[in-house]
Structure 1
Amino acid sequence: MARRSTASSDSTSSGDSSGAPSGESSGPPSGDRTGDLFGDVPSRAAALREEIRRHDRLYYLESAPVISDAEYDALFRELRELEQASPSLVSADSPTQRVGAPLPEGSGFEKVAHEVPMLSIDSLFGDDEVRDFEEKILRYLKLESGAELAWSVEPKFDGVSAALTYVDGQLARALTRGDGQVGEDVTANVRTVRNVPLSLDTGGAPAPTLLEVRGEMLIARAAFERFNLERAGRGETILANPRNATSGAIRRNDPAEVARYPLEFHVYGVARLEGAQFATHTELLAALRGWGLPDSGHARRVVGLDAAIAYHDELEARRFELPFEIDGVVAKLDDLALRERLGRTARSMRWQYAHKFAAMEATTVLRAIEVQVGANGRLTPRAHLDPVEVLGVIVRHATLHNAEVAKELGARPGDRVFVRRAGDVIPQVTGVAEAAKGRAPKGWKDELPESLVEHLDGGRTAPRAGVTWAWRSEFSMPDVCPACGTAAVREGAYWRCPNRFECPPQLVGRLETLVGRSAFDIDALGTKKLAQLLEHGYLHSPADVFHLQPEPLLELERWGQKSVENLFEELEKRRRIPFDRFLVALAIDEVGPATAKLLARNFRDLQALHAASEEELQHLDGIGPEMARKIRLWFEDERNQAFVARLLEGGVVVQPLGSAAGSGELSGKRFVVTGTLESLSRAEAKQLIEDLGGQVVSTVSAKTDYLVVGEKPGTKAKKAAELGIPCLEEAAFLALAGRERSGPPRD
């Protein structure tokens, strides 16, 4: 799960703070908690530390938080203030002490030998190899063939292994795996990982005098996506995948920077244990959870190899549903005494194996890098590869994301590169496996993919514009659009062709948007027929679709009398279109179906939207300054105005949505919704307002008619009071809407 945020001044968190259910804190209320009311300060600080540790356990270990993130932050903030006022209260295991000082510039991590080597796991592929492995174990233990052993099975995470040592219950050291014999001391960085306990929970059982756990550092898929969005917003490089991000984060020199990453730790075993004894791995995992150490939650005890294989098959079928990247299953003998008897080889333990999934990653040769032009004008580098099978699919192309990612990867034609594919996600190049060396092999240019070759007069050929193909040549983004030659412009991490109206790929993209299912929904005009009409000069603008004539089409290949009749029957039916679908058809940047519906519900027609200012657009809940600016600029462009005019000249009739026409009990009224309502979610309240003709805006202003308030309304209620705007509690709001509250209060 995503990390809980804190109010710490020396670290930042990129976790999602919206998902924790509300509830009652077992601690005292927030506010001033010092002085006589709560006893002496040292006792209060100790109580706060214990309370915060309890909530960390509920949140990270049990996925059952009982307070909101805001309440958690208040506890954390109070403890930090107490410790700042009385530095003698600070203890090494305090939740406020997770972030330490950065390493001196130019220094590296200390190398430390593992007390117990971090050995490899035997990787097995297919059920037969797994059965052979078990047979070897049975022979070694002198057990009958077919005897059913108990296995502890768990996901094999694709993360970064780490070893954490606790002495008398306190986190003393954290090491990377390194080469298995020697790792790097990353204790200061691991202390920033929010679900790593700095001290073990001894509420259920005493902590062992010495405990060394092994586990995996990870970033969940959803957290990784949010983190990349935040990085893009700050103008930082987009990270390629969760594993690379984890590996890079854990070895950064500044713990405060590490704290920004949504890292998690999941324990999978114990290397050293003094002060406690267990008979099985299952019992040991339960004890680790009791001491506050998090695991994946997916481990299972099974009896018999068939059950272990079934677990593997189950997880492989669900691998893309799980929150983390996994590449197989690890199976360990559950009986610790049997493990002792089996021992280890020079490189691995005899009592465990990894049953791998079909590979998501392979290596192949990079042939060329082509810069493609998207329907929105964005220039995207794409890798052309020697064909390679990944997850059962032959991959010939892979994305390089953008110029910055391509530069950071440093891949050049001729290099052997890693190609990764996860589920239905577009394959991507994740790194260079082996750089090209020496001179180009004979015939390198002749093997350039046909799609990248341009045929010239006299039978000559040349690489197309925007293609980097020469052996070991460095890639760079072109200064001009490869499709139309217009000077490219930079927008953050991306480059774009601004020639929206004449650049061929953008024209095709706008045509596909206009005839698509979310807009005019013209089935008779697929991609191939649109390209054909463009090639023959029958379409110069998407609006020309409604100005086509039947006679010329009959002369084209694959256009018969019946297909032409079907097209024009469909065009006649589709000329009447709801306002929101019409807005989608215009292909305004960032205006998809949801935003189009929002605009159509709040503006009665095209003229009203055309006249709306950026400020008016930003009042809509869901439209920010950048989107408002783009909408405004779109309508101010004379070429867009001509495009709309030509659509209307083609007989297109735009039909307003019901609420936009001014009907309903709340017609013409502007609402802001704030706080937590009892019987409605905020989304339900918003939908009710819009269904009854009202408009939901995001900020309180003099133009706001009503503020609908729930629990903890925040600053919006104060501003509404200052402006004299009526505040409606839920019952009053429902009465105004002509509805009665129904059902039990929401949790």
Structure 2
Amino acid sequence: MPAKKVEARVEQLRRDLTEYARLYYHEGVSHVSDAEYDALYRELQALEAQHPELVDDASPTQRVGAPLPEGTSFDKVAHEVPMLSIDSLFTTEEVDDFVTSLGRFLKLEANELEAIAWSLEPKFDGVSASLLYVDGKLTRCVTRGDGAVGEDVTANLRTVRDLPLQLVGDAAPAVPALLEVRGEVLMRRDAFARLNERREERGETILANPRNATSGAVRRNDPAEVARYPLQFFPYGVARSEGAAFATHTETMEALHAWGFADSGLRRRVVGRDARIAYHDELEARRDDVPYDMDGVVAKIDDLALRERLGSRTRTLRWQYAHKFAALEAVSTLRAIEVQVGANGRLTPRAHLEPVDVGGVTVRHATLHNADHVANLGVRVGDRVFVYRAGDVIPQVEGVSRSAAGDAPKDWDASLPDSLKDTDGAVRTGVFHAWRAEFQMPSHCPACGTEAVAEGKFWRCPNRFGCPPQLVGRLEVLCGRGAFDIDRLGPKLIQQLIDAELVHSPADVFHLERDALVELDRWGAKSADNLMAQLEERRTIPFDRFLVALRIDEVGPSTAKLLAGAFGDLDGLRAATEEDFLAIDGIGEVAARKVSAWFDEPRNLELLERFAAGGVRVVPLERRAGGGVFEGLSVVVTGTLESYSRAEAKAIVEAQGGKVSSSVSAKTAFLVAGDKPGSKLKKAQELGVKVLDEEAFTAFVRGE
């Protein structure tokens, strides 16, 4: 392709990818499929690899940079405009007093003060940052720090997917020559929960809440690690602008959105005291529905000229305030610690608390994650503990307020909640309830009595086929939307079927008989007919969703798609070896070992036969297509490359039809080795695998 055409194609790809990302992250609209987006992205990567002179910092491929050298700290940067604090107000009376004081400062009559327009928005609980754009290009990102000096975290914030690297140039008004944007880095609660699930599966420390997770991510030394966090950015104002002038905050925020920034959709312009209070009360009532943690409302005078007149105090700005919500943290007494058995057999301690109101919700239970977490908290039964709740995130104990001391209260044993007792009144197995008792993970599963086994920080019941809670959990996964999507079978009905001994394995769902269902309590002919009809509809299922339904350890929806795409059907997967699994980029050693072991277990093979006997038909998927200089070849990338990140090198291989593996084997065609390649180079040399340095890799990609 001629040089001019290459350059034009690169620019077009960058514009298209930037616009598709903006529409996806900001508008919730997908103008192309994921596969189409990925193909365009890989094409751009390949062109930039072949023409490094065309690489630009604002390209979508350049979000992830190199890590800081070990032991290096972030550079300190002084804010040109200090990032001052906000006055926190907790009652409507305090809000009224604040606004009245503004009236006195401005020498306004009551009716004039009431006519002032305000811009209201959530006070998101994230990490504040200041972004500098020069000629529309992101050049520096700085944390708030102490308000006067922050830390340069540019490389990390460039990984935030909805943060524009290049402002949209054809929007109105025109992009200014210099723009300093202030905003909040944060993450959704559901994304945070999924992040913690993945960390727990890998045996990593559980993060306390989205705000702490965000703060930790922003200050990591490796941008590639930061990119794993589901961070987002919402602007809340402009500190400096050269080449664009605005009359109101509302105009400013609308311009930011036009230039490419995300908009939460929650900002509102209002006039009058009642409207301000109503917005606060409305948002507080909705705080569990809004997917981000927020602890109040920020109210700002909309008129920028009026703000100039008001100015600032030593630490705060006079023209804005924060009207806080009721606290989401409270103190309660730890009544007991119960060990629960999860769907995968994991034994998890759960706190039983004296009922306490946390942000308008009565909390009686909180997660304690694992035995190490309990030990680190230093909690004992009877302690007064801090309880934290944030929306849909499960409440958790964050520390000890006051340790239990002296003798137990007289009614301590008698007041133990009935939910912790069997029908005969005896305390259930696996419940620690004695005054000042220290928690220890039991040696046997409290549900079935099987000896527990240690797996890193966690303990698990290995009785996968006979432990009742595990059967319930496996059936819930099977009936879930990501698998067979049998919505007529919820948790209570699943438990009922197990208690009635109608199901002994997940596959038994497809062997249920109408007449047996009709005889159950609260089941009628219509309910049974509806379930039987749905089961008939759901007997045909795509391969990847069937893998999710099997509840193989380490195989969630994303891993299931990788396996289904690589092996096509169940026979191909069964015939694969652990080495074959490791050859798939995205499949690690633990997952490879778990999948391989699953098919070595005779009872799992019996389960597959039981599904087939129940009429379940698994629809195969087409295998991934190849194409290019690496077609059909397995490649491993190791070490530090100068011209590419490792992720970029992998994407180039895949764009050229290759398959990227995480480990070297006899099936490896090439090892692409950068600086400090480590043990993979030695293994490649021992196996006679061809090694490409960076120059040779680039030449091979170009076909030279």
| Alpha-carbon separation, structure 2, partners of 1:113 and 1:408 | 37
For 1:219, which of 173, 187, 191 is the aligned residue?
A: 187
Counterpart residue number, 1:612: none
Tell me how far 1:286 sits from its aligned partner.
1.3
Residue 236 of structure 2 aligns to a residue whose secondary structure is: strand
Counterpart Cα distance in 1 of 2:391 and 2:89: 22
Task: Specify whether residues 157 and 576 from structure 1 end up closer, same or farther in structure 2 by C-alpha distance, changes over 3 A only.
Answer: same
Letter in 1 for 2:300: K
2:84 equivalent in structure 1: 119
Which amino acid in the other structure matches residue 322 of structure 1? Answer: V
CA distance in 2, matches of 1:490, 1:333: 58
Could you say if the C-alpha distance between residues 194 and 484 of structure 1 is closer, same or farther in structure 2, counting changes exceeding 3 Å? closer
CA contact (8 A) 1:452 1:464 kept: no
Per-residue CA distance 1:468-502 (angstroms, 9 max, x = gap): 9787x975533334678652234687534467999
Preserved CA contact (<8 Å) 1:312 1:329: yes
Match of 2:39 among 67, 71, 74: 74
| Residue aligning to 2:141 | 174
SS at match of 2:217: helix
Using the TM superposition, give the Cα deviation of residue 428 of structure 1 relative to its aligned residue in structure 2, in angstroms: 1.7
Higher mean Cα deviation, 170-179 or 84-93? Answer: 170-179
Corresponding position of 2:176 = 208
Deviation at 1:194, TM superposition (A): 1.2
Match of 1:142 among 89, 102, 107: 107
1:623 is the counterpart of 2:549: yes
Corresponding residue for residue 57 of structure 1: 22
What amino acid is aligned across from residue 59 of structure 1 in structure 2? Y
In the other structure, the counterpart of 2:242 is 274
Check conservation: 2:335, 2:416, Cα contact below 8 A: no
1:477 aligns with 2:441: yes
1:432/1:618 Cα in 2 relative to 1: closer, same or farther (>3 Å)? closer
Is the contact made by 2:65 and 2:223 (CA closer than 8 Å) also made in structure 1?
Answer: yes
The separation in 1 between residues aligned to 2:308 and 2:392, in whole angstroms, is 43
Q: Counterparts of 1:375 and 1:323 in 2: how far apart (Å)?
A: 26
Which of 333, 351, 370 lines up with 1:383 in the alignment? 351
Letter of the 1:83 partner, please give it.
E
Identify if the C-alpha distance between structure 1 residues 579 and 48 changes in structure 2 by more than 3 Å, giving closer, same or farther: farther
Equivalent-residue separation in structure 2 for 1:313 and 1:148 (angstroms): 21
Partner-residue secondary structure (3-state), 1:427: strand
Residue 308 of structure 2: SS of its match in structure 1? Answer: helix
Separation in 1 of the partners of 2:66 and 2:494?
A: 55
Partner of 1:518: 493
Provide Cα deviations, 1:507-538, integer angstroms capped at 9, x if missing partner. 9999xxx998526969xxxxxxxxxxxxxxxx
1:156, distance to aligned residue in structure 2 (A): 1.6
More displaced stretch, 229-238 vs 96-105: 229-238
Structure 2 counterpart SS, 1:697: strand
Q: Which has the higher contact order (CA 8 A, sep 6+)?
A: 2
Matched, 1:495 2:484: no
* Alpha-carbon separation, structure 2, partners of 1:503 and 1:167: 61
Does the Cα contact within 8 Å between 1:452 and 1:467 map onto a contact in 2?
no
Structure 2: gaps (5+ residues)? 418-426, 475-488, 503-512, 524-529, 554-569, 571-597, 626-704
- 1:331-410 correspondence to structure 2 within 5 Å: 331-363=299-331, 369-372=337-340, 378-385=346-353, 388-403=356-371, 406=374
Q: Supply the AA of the counterpart residue of 1:495.
A: W
CA contact (8 A) 1:621 1:696 kept: no
Is 1:129 the equivalent of 2:94? yes
Contact 2:190 2:392 (8 Å CA) reproduced: no
Contact residue 130 and residue 143 of structure 2 kept, 8 A: yes
Cα distance 1:135–1:433, how it changes in 2: closer, same or farther (>3 A)?
farther
Give the TM-score normalised by structure 1: 0.61
Secondary structure (helix, strand or coil) at the match of 2:65 reads coil
- CA change 1:576–1:184 in 2 (3 A) is same
Q: Counterpart amino acid of 1:358?
A: A
Task: Tell me the alpha carbon deviations over residues 149-179 of structure 1, each in whole angstroms, 9 at most, x when there is no partner.
Answer: 1010112212222111222322222122223
Which residue of structure 2 lines up, in the alignment, with residue 296 of structure 1?
264
Q: Distance in 2 between matches of 1:195 and 1:507?
A: 40
The answer to whether residue 161 in structure 2 is matched with residue 194 in structure 1 is: yes
Across the aligned residues of Structure 1 and Structure 2, the Cα RMSD in angstroms comes to: 4.9
Alpha carbons of 1:266 and 1:375: their partners in 2 closer, same or farther (altered >3 Å)?
closer
CA contact (8 A) 1:580 1:599 kept: no
Q: 2:619 aligns with which of 698, 704, 708?
A: 698
Structure with higher Rg: it is: 1
Matched with 1:247 is 215
Between 1:624-633 and 1:219-228, the stretch displaced more is 624-633
Find the residue that maps to 2:9 and give its secondary structure. helix
Which whole-Å CA distance do the structure 2 matches of 1:452 and 1:496 have between them? Answer: 27
How far did 1:336 drift? Answer: 0.8
Cα distance in 1 for partners of 2:544, 2:369 equals 30
- Report deviation, 1:283: 0.8
> Over residues 21-56 of structure 1, what are the superposed CA-to-partner deviations in whole Å (9 max), with x where a residue is unaligned?
xxxxxxxxxxxxxx15x9532232223222222223
1:101 to 58, 66, 80: 66
Residue 356 of structure 1 and its aligned partner are, at CA, apart by 2.1
Secondary structure (helix, strand or coil) at the match of 1:479 reads: coil
SS at match of 1:56: helix
2:386 and 2:401 in contact (8 A); partners too: no
| Matching residue of 1:705 | none
Change in CA separation of 1:403 and 1:292 when aligned onto 2, cut-off 3 Å: same
CA 1:324–1:103 in structure 2 vs 1: closer, same or farther (change >3 Å)?
A: same
The gaps in structure 1 that reach 5 residues or longer are 1-34, 454-461, 523-540, 546-573, 585-592, 604-614, 642-658, 662-667, 669-694, 701-712, 717-747
Equivalents in 1 of 2:148, 2:278: separation in Å? 34
Return the offset for 1:314: 2.3
CA contact (8 A) 1:237 1:493 kept: no
| Deviation, structure 1 residue 299 | 1.0
Residues 57 and 636 from structure 1, CA distance in 2 versus in 1: closer, same or farther, beyond 3 angstroms?
closer
Deviation readout 1:327-364 (Å, 9 max, x if unpaired): 22211100111111222222321211222222222345
The answer as to 2:9 corresponding to 1:44 is yes
User: Is 1:185 the counterpart of 2:111 in the alignment?
Assistant: no
The answer to whether the 8 A contact 1:507-1:542 is kept is no
Match of 2:680 in 1: none
> How much does 1:594 deviate?
8.9
Q: Structure 1 pair 465/132, CA: closer, same or farther in 2 (3 Å)?
A: same
Q: Retained in 2: the 8 A contact 1:213–1:269?
A: yes
Closer/same/farther in 2, CA of residues 269 and 353 from structure 1, 3 Å limit: same
Q: Give, as a single letter, the amino acid of the residue that structure 2 aligns with 1:169.
A: G
Shift of residue 269, structure 1, vs aligned partner: 1.0
**1:99 positional shift:** 0.8
- 1:165–1:696 CA distance, 2 compared to 1 (3 A): same
Contact 1:150-1:303 within 8 A present in 2 as well: yes
Is the contact made by 1:124 and 1:130 (CA closer than 8 Å) also made in structure 2? yes
- 1:233 to partner: Cα distance: 5.2
TM-score, normalised relative to structure 2: 0.64
Contact 1:149 1:305 in 2 (8 A): no
CA distance, structure 2, for counterparts of residue 544 and residue 118 of structure 1 = 64
636 and 79 in structure 1: CA distance in 2 versus 1, 3 angstrom threshold: closer
CA distance in 1, matches of 2:44, 2:321: 45
Which deviates the most, 354-363 or 486-495? 486-495
Instruction: Give the partner amino acid of 1:699.
Output: P
Tell me the secondary structure at the aligned position of residue 32 of structure 2.
coil
Instruction: Answer yes or no: is the 8 Å Cα contact 2:120–2:300 preserved in 1.
Output: yes
Q: Which residue of 2 aligns with 1:566?
A: none
Are residues 1:633 and 2:603 paired? yes
1:739 maps to none
Where does residue 727 of structure 1 map in the other structure? none
Aligned counterpart, 2:273: 305
Asked if structure 2 preserves the Cα contact closer than 8 Å seen for 1:621 and 1:697, the reply is no
Q: Measure, in 2, the Cα distance between the counterparts of 1:287 and 1:129.
A: 33
State yes or no: 1:162 paired with 2:129.
yes
Report the Cα distance in structure 2 between the residues aligned to 1:233 and 1:125, rounded to whole angstroms: 40
